[in-house]
Amino acid sequence: MEELHSEGKLALIAIDQDRPRSGIEIDASESTPWLIGGGVLSAPSQEMPGLQLADALAFGLGRRFRRYAEYDRGQPSDLDVAAIAPLAALNGRSRSLHEEAHNSAQSRNSN
């Protein structure tokens, strides 16, 4: 998050609700007023399309890990293929802040 802020880029972080909420709310546990919406947004996933996409991606990734034997044999089911398709479609279209942070830490440690 801080990397995006320091680069002057807009960022929005939305998390699935941790308890029943009446709608989209700012999560008071984080002090990030520079984010779109004034902080980390917490909402029921059905109210935020991005959270629905995250749920679908997590399902596909989890299914891929649970059914690795079928993939390794080249025999994934039609559901396996459909479940991983949204994740595969992101190849080259997403930015991994985790990877960038890891590379940055390695660079600092090698100096």
Burial of 34 (0-12, 13-18, 19+ CB in 10 A): middle
Q: How far apart are CA 7 and CA 105, in angstroms?
A: 17
Average pLDDT over residues 72-100: 83
Measure the CA–CA gap between 84 and 61, rounded to whole angstroms: 6
Q: Which of 50-54, 58-62, 63-67 has the lowest mean pLDDT?
A: 50-54
Mean pLDDT, the chain, as a whole number?
81
Would the pTM of this model clear 0.75, i.e. be above it?
Answer: no
pLDDT in tens, 13-51: 778 877 777 888 887 666 777 888 888 888 887 887 788
Q: What is the pLDDT of residue 15?
A: 80
Q: What is the pLDDT of residue 82?
A: 92
